[in-house]
Amino acid sequence: MSEKKQASLLVHGYEVVIGFETHAQLATQSKIFSRAPTAFGAEPNTQACAVDLALPGTLPVMNREAVAHAIRLGLALGSHIAEQSVFARKNYFYPDLPKGYQISQFEIPVVQGGEVSFFLGDEKKTVRLVRAHLEEDAGKSLHEDFIGQSGIDLNRAGTPLLEIVTEPDIRSSAEAVAYAKELHKIVTWIGICDGNMQEGSFRCDANVSVRKPGAPLGTRREIKNLNSFKFMQQAIDYEVRWQIEQIEDGHAIQQATVLFDPDTGETRAMRTKEDAADYRYFPDPDLPPLVIARSWVDEVKAAMPELPRQMAERLVADYGLPEYDATTLTQSPAMAAYFETAAKASGQAKMASNWIMGEVSRRLNSEEKDIAQVPVSAETLAALLKRIADGTVSNNAAKQVMDALWAGEGQDVDAVIEAKGLKQMNDSGALEAIIDEVMAANAPMVEQFRAGKDKAFNALVGLVMKASKGKANPQQANELLKKKLG
């Protein structure tokens, strides 16, 4: 879809233009070009083998699973998967780059084109991808521990990455965050990345520029390593304000790489890597071209799970859910599965959706659990929803049943309802008796009603419900009371 179709919202008369580069660490056992493990948090340099350290004589050998992950991403985003792609060397000196070059892909990446669609509020947005290419991660420089020196840990060096690059299609910080969340959802959903942002498994760089509507693209500044959605929005908002102020004050924006400081809430230009501009890319002579047979792509495709967007559309079609519900319920495969089980077993899709987005999520959040750890099974929830539907319990009473089930006081819904005496009173005889008592005890109120004070009616219903200890069916109470007040 073309840039123009993107709805732009202006900030002080400026259009915000954002492109994303995301580094997703791929979920593999071994490094991309060596057989060293990729586990996070090991002792320094204990997971950096001779190849990762670039010891003299070492050579790279490509990890098949990293390629399979690239294929999965390409399939998930509707990209072209290159039949042949080429690894190139990006040459620059840096202590965390053991070979003095990074093996990446330059002219011919493995994943080409594609798009990410998501909802911003109820507006559907689509961000086009330029490419996603395979490359190796660098090590880490630790600055704290040594005076005047840095310590280099190369455990992370050689961890497989997919760098996912978008067109400058994003028009606001909110949209940027929504895009990043959707991409994060997809890579974790298809299992190519663990998505752990604290550990740096999913790192976003945002290229931000501003322009007057219709003007050519402004000079961009790249905000590096946005490793939380919260900071992402703050950083972009700050950067946009800063750029607009600069321009308004008559200063031109200089292309730069900036870092966001969560403490100050500000971005600052990095000490730019000298001559970073001249990476002297050339095809890596140690690695012949990567060839991906159509049959391999088909194989991977056959094993792919249903994707979140497809599933959301299916939930709308099959269960008549609103888009919003469908999108919320497809946050994770587990959440979606929980819903479908509950909806099917109860035959109450919308009610199931409401309960999962409300009661269940609220309890999970307060206990900082995720759906995988939910103490009440989808089948049990379904049983409870059935009881609400058939009027056995009121919605409020059902919440008390849920509390009990959540707390582990029995699994059988009916038993809990029984034990807690939360059964709704559906026998009209008993209810009429209560109503008669209430009317007798509150003759003045009855008079007021008959005198035309409608408010009195609600008060009487309240008293009836109270007298029934909440077990009375509200509708039924209404009808009978009306009749008697006739």
Partner 1 sequence: MSLTLTDIGRIANLARLEMPPAQAERMLTQLNGFFDIVEQMKAVDTSGIEPLAHPTAVIDHVSLRLRPDVASEPNNREANQQSAPAVERGLFLVPKVIE
Partner 2 sequence: MSLNDLHQMGVAELAAAIADKQTSSVEAAQALLARAKQHQNLGAYLSFNEDLTLAQAKAADARVAAGERGPLLGVPLAHKDIFVTQGFTSTAGSKMLEGYQSPFDATVVANLAKAGAVTLGKLNCDEFAMGGSNENSAYGVARNPWDMERVPGGSSGGSAVAVAARLAPATTGTDTGGSIRQPASFCNVTGIKPTYGRCSRYGMIAFASSLDQAGPMARSAADCATLLSAMAGPDIDRDSTSLDHPAEDYTRLLGTLREGATAAQPLKGLRVGLPKEFFGEGCAPDVVAAVRTALSEYEKLGATLVDISLPRTELSIPVYYIIAPAEASSNLSRFDGVKFGHRAAQYDDLIDMYKKSRSEGFGPEVQRRIMIGTYVLSHGYYDAYYLKAQQIRRLIAQDFQDAFAQCDLIAGPAAPTTAWKIGEMSDDPVANYLADIFTLPASLAGLPGMSVPAGFGAGGLPVGLQLIGNYFREAELLQAADAFQRATDWHTKTPEGF
From the list 109-117, 122-130, 275-283, 477-485, the region that binds partner 2 by CB under 8 A is 275-283
Residue 346 and residue 337 in contact, taking contact as beta carbons nearer than 8 Å? no
Q: Which does 29 bind (CB under 5 to 8 A by kind): partner 2, partner 1, none?
A: partner 1
From the list 171-179, 276-284, 349-357, 455-463, the region that binds partner 1 by CB under 8 A is 276-284
Quick one: which of 86, 75, 28 has its CA closest to 288? 86
CA–chain centroid gap for 256, Å, is 29
From the list 124-132, 140-148, 199-207, 305-313, the region that binds partner 1 by CB under 8 A is 140-148
Out of 16, 49, 116, 385, name the contact with partner 1 by CB under 8 A: 49
The CA distance from 116 to 53, in Å, is 36
Residue 175 and residue 191 in contact, taking contact as beta carbons nearer than 8 Å? no
Quick one: which of 92, 24, 21, 16 has its CA closest to 257? 21
Q: Which does 126 bind (CB under 5 to 8 A by kind): partner 2, partner 1, none?
A: none
Kindly state whether residue 299 participates in binding partner 1, applying the rule CB under 8 A: no
The CA distance from 190 to 331, in Å, is 12
Kindly state whether residue 148 participates in binding partner 1, applying the rule CB under 8 A: yes
CB atoms within 10 A of CB 28: 18
From the list 125-133, 211-219, 285-293, 400-408, the region that binds partner 2 by CB under 8 A is 285-293
Rg for the chain (alpha carbons), in Å?
A: 30
Out of 215, 270, 317, 433, name the contact with partner 1 by CB under 8 A: 270
Kindly state whether residue 64 participates in binding partner 1, applying the rule CB under 8 A: yes
Indicate the pairing of strand 14-25 with strand 202-211: antiparallel
Q: For 96, phi and psi rounded to 5 degrees?
A: -90, 5
Kindly state whether residue 274 participates in binding partner 2, applying the rule CB under 8 A: yes
Q: What track of x and - describes contact with partner 1 for positions 1 through 40 (by CB under 8 A)?
A: ---------------------------xxx---xxxxx--
Three-class secondary structure of residue 104 per DSSP? strand
Q: Which helix (H) or strand (E) holds 319?
A: helix 308-319
For partner 1, give the closer residue by CB, 28 or 207.
28
| Measured distance between the N- and C-terminal CA atoms of the chain, rounded to whole angstroms | 64
* Binding site residues, partner 1, CB under 8 A: 28-30, 34-38, 43-50, 53, 55, 61-67, 84, 87, 93-96, 141-143, 145-146, 148-154, 259, 270-271, 274-275, 278, 280, 283, 285, 287-291
* Binding site residues, partner 2, CB under 8 A: 50, 53-62, 89, 91, 93, 95, 98-101, 152, 154, 274, 277-278, 280-282, 285-288
